[in-house]
A and B are shown apart, each in its own frame.
Chain A
Amino acid sequence: MNINNIKKQFPIFNNKVHNNDLVYLDSANSSQKPQMVVDRIYDFYTKEFSNVGRSVHYLAVAATNLYENTRTMMQKYINAKDPNEIVFTKGATEAINLVANTFGQKFLNEGDEILLTELEHHSNYVPWHYLRKLKGVKINFAEINNDGEITIESIEKSITPKTKMIAITHLSNVTGAILPIKEITSLAHSKNIPILIDGCQGAPHLKLDMQDIDCDFYAISCHKMYGPTGLGVLYAKKKWLDALPPYQGGGGMIREVKKEGISFGDLPNKYEAGTMATAQVIAFGESIKFLNQIGIENIEKHESELTKYGEEVLRKNNSVKLVGNPKNKGSVLSFTLDGIHAHDIATILDEDGVAIRAGHHCCQILHDKLGLSATARASLGVYNTKDDLDKLNESINKCRKIFDR
């Protein structure tokens, strides 16, 4: 795998930031886009545009086929059983809201409990929080250990006879911990509890097999997978999509509409009300192609080597404290510098063209637990190199120098 050739496919790297080469270390927030994805959006709008699933003219039929083709590609990419188990949403956030809302409506009652973890992104907490007021459900949080991991024991300890749903992240966007989701799913199912995985950070980096994991729901954010913004995927087992009520009402999701009543359309239309992010879905097909061309196994290997290298470099740097120390770690390096606030770090690194994220990364519960108000985070993508991590380290040293003057 030749990273230079891969990097060349990303036009963003032709630009300078403050007169420096861009060192992009914010892929956990959102990844950059390869030329083929950008071109696909342009081509669709210039040559092929039509709305999908409605008209019968030539363009409409072609666009509908392209749109449905991405669904099938995604089904294969994550090895779902049926293409109808792939629902397009506006993002992972909407995917989780869809489940929380419809599952909550139909299956949750006062006193029922939902189990999350302390690692969760606000997107996998706030949608469930609404059910506290609406349904009187209780939310529990499985606790992290000292290394910033969630173990199967921690989940097991937190399950009660009232637990009606488990919703956990695949890979923490702060500590990088990869959760044993297959084992947790099997534990959940042994107690008849459905499980939702927030796969935002898993999907761009790890090989996925829905039938092997056997989870009930898996939420994906396409813009973190080298795809367009405004698009997410909800994988859900067909039995759930059949059993749950529709989420939003509107055109495209109905069968018959009468003044007296309405019947709803079949899957997948039932959950895709209104005009969808058509160009994005079609362009996302190119993201899947891009990932397949490189091979997710190769991406995993490259990123895991880089993560180890980054950890090594930062550990050697005495002023850096890494956040979390999970044994099974994805390509996220969160850190603090003694006496320098994360936002000051990010501003100083930016001057060198080094793009990182600073703040609580939408994980306030975790930061409160760690006693940190903010952390700095460098996160990797397929286009990163060891050189990027060396530049990160140099910039961190510059930060230290400015503050120790």
Chain B
Amino acid sequence: MDLKELYQEIILDHGKNPRNLRKTENFNKDAKGHNPLCGDKVHVFLKIDENKNISDISFEGSGCAISMASASIMTDLMKEKKEKEVKELVEDFLQMIKESPEMKTKIISENEKTKLMSLSGVKQYPMRVKCATLAWHTLTSAMNNSQEETNTEKFD
């Protein structure tokens, strides 16, 4: 794994032109996350319908290419997912970023998994892991209706 693999095209593409970088109208859940070391900030907005489907997800924020790409790819994938599926995906992604060589979930396609795996390059850069996980921890806080700002320093 070298730098080219960390800063590969898909990450630069999402990092420079993040998808879903806006604020969902009539959102019913949201949470803020902050990575004090880097200054990365995200605010995740969710609209969950009566069937517990995510009918829209978006985010606002600023940060490095890794954190923006991660939030962008994440929000793309979570649309139309059920609440339960979101939880499974977040867990599987965090597992992969921390230690697992691959993602186990069957909820998303191989193609989508490849997209997420592009973020696995941060494993070589321990100080940057938090950049990749910030949006995901923040999404969990939003789902749990947690009022406290997510702070990556509290996670390993």
Residues of A near any B CB (own CB < 8 A)? 339-344, 347-348, 351, 358-360, 367, 373-374, 402-403, 405
Find out whether the CB atom of B3 lies under 8 angstroms from the CB atom of A343.
Answer: no
Docked CA distance A373–B63 (Å): 8
Number of B residues, CB within 8 Å of A: 21
Find out whether the CB atom of B38 lies under 8 angstroms from the CB atom of A405.
Answer: no
- Interface residue from A360, A402, A405 paired with B39 (Cβ < 8 Å): A360
Find out whether the CB atom of B65 lies under 8 angstroms from the CB atom of A373.
Answer: no
Determine the chain B residues whose CB is within 8 A of the CB of A402 once the complex forms: 3-4, 7, 12
Find out whether the CB atom of B39 lies under 8 angstroms from the CB atom of A374.
Answer: yes
Q: A21 to chain B: closest CB distance in Å?
A: 18
Docked CA distance A402–B4 (Å): 8
Find out whether the CB atom of B65 lies under 8 angstroms from the CB atom of A340.
Answer: yes
Find out whether the CB atom of B16 lies under 8 angstroms from the CB atom of A339.
Answer: yes
Docked CA distance A341–B125 (Å): 16
Find out whether the CB atom of B37 lies under 8 angstroms from the CB atom of A347.
Answer: no
Determine the chain B residues whose CB is within 8 A of the CB of A339 once the complex forms: 16
- Interface residue from A347, A367, A373, A403 paired with B128 (Cβ < 8 Å): A347
Find out whether the CB atom of A343 lies under 8 angstroms from the CB atom of B12.
Answer: no
- Interface residue from B9, B39, B62, B64 paired with A344 (Cβ < 8 Å): B64
Determine the chain A residues whose CB is within 8 A of the CB of B62 once the complex forms: 373
Docked CA distance A367–B39 (Å): 10
Does chain A have a CB within 8 A of B74? no
Does chain A have a CB within 8 A of B131? yes
Determine the chain B residues whose CB is within 8 A of the CB of A367 once the complex forms: 39
Does chain A have a CB within 8 A of B6? yes
Q: A336 to chain B: closest CB distance in Å?
A: 13
Does chain A have a CB within 8 A of B66? yes
Does chain A have a CB within 8 A of B43? no
Find out whether the CB atom of A359 lies under 8 angstroms from the CB atom of B16.
Answer: no
Find out whether the CB atom of B3 lies under 8 angstroms from the CB atom of A351.
Answer: yes
Find out whether the CB atom of A344 lies under 8 angstroms from the CB atom of B37.
Answer: no
Does chain A have a CB within 8 A of B41? yes
Determine the chain B residues whose CB is within 8 A of the CB of A347 once the complex forms: 3, 6, 125, 128
Supposing A347-B6, A359-B39, A373-B39 touch, asked if A403 and B125 sit within 8 A by C-beta, the answer is no
